[in-house]
């Protein structure tokens, strides 16, 4: 036996191009062009979903109705990330939260900013901070920040 431990370093890079779908396209178009957040509403249970859903997971029926939600919402929960990782959109410390937009009944995961991280509280009212240059992605909103 030898004592040397030989390690092979692989580096897998696999590009993907994910379609956001018909409803996702409308959602991101509205974000990009009109700075508005749209959701869909189940015809049966009336639940309002954001991000928009094409089918209701509870009723298992197609959803056709669109409703505008937010732009303000309530912070349901949050975390302040203190470690570094390449997956992060911005360097730590930064906050991630789940926001329930007004009139929506599901939460949206997004960054919480525009405030010292120590000042963030659950239940806080927040509003989106839109970027000037928008390309049609969730990060067209830089973060949600406290409503004064």
Angstrom distance (rounded) from CA 55 to CA 60: 6
Nearest distance from residue 147's CB to other proteins, in Å? 20
CB count, 10 Å around CB of 116?
8
Q: Are 58 and 47 in contact (CB under 8 A)?
A: yes
Residue 74 as a binder of other proteins (CB under 8 A): the answer is: no
End-to-end CA distance of the chain: 69
In this structure, the strands spanning 94-101 and 108-112 are antiparallel
- As measured in angstroms, the least distance from the Cβ of 136 to other proteins is 11
- Residue 74, C-beta contacts closer than 8 angstroms, at least 6 positions apart: 99, 100, 102, 123, 124, 125, 126
x-marked contacts with Zn ion along 35-54 as a string, rule CB under 5 A:
-------x-xx---------
Q: Which of 26, 30, 71, 96 binds other proteins (CB under 8 A)?
A: 96
Binding mask 14-33 for other proteins (x = CB under 8 A): --x-x-x---x---------
Size of the site for Zn ion (CB under 5 A): 6
* Interface ranges with other proteins (CB under 8 A): 5, 7, 10, 12, 16, 18, 20, 24, 49-51, 57, 76-83, 85-90, 96-98, 100, 106-111, 122, 137-139
């Amino acid at each position: 036996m030898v004592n040397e431990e030989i390690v092979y370093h692989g580096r897998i890079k696999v590009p993907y191009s994910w379609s956001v779908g018909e409803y996702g396209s409308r959602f991101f178009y509205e974000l990009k062009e009109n700075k508005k957040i749209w959701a869909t509403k189940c015809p049966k249970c009336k639940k309002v979903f954001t991000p928009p859903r094409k089918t209701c997971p509870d009723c298992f029926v197609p959803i056709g109705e669109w409703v505008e939600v937010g732009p303000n919402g309530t912070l349901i929960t949050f975390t302040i990330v203190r470690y570094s990782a390449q997956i992060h959109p911005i360097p730590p410390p930064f906050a991630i939260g789940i926001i329930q937009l007004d009139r929506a009944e599901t939460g949206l995961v997004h960054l919480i900013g525009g405030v010292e991280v120590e000042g963030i509280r659950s239940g806080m009212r927040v509003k989106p901070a839109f970027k000037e240059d928008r390309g049609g992605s969730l990060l067209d909103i830089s973060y949600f920040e406290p409503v004064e």
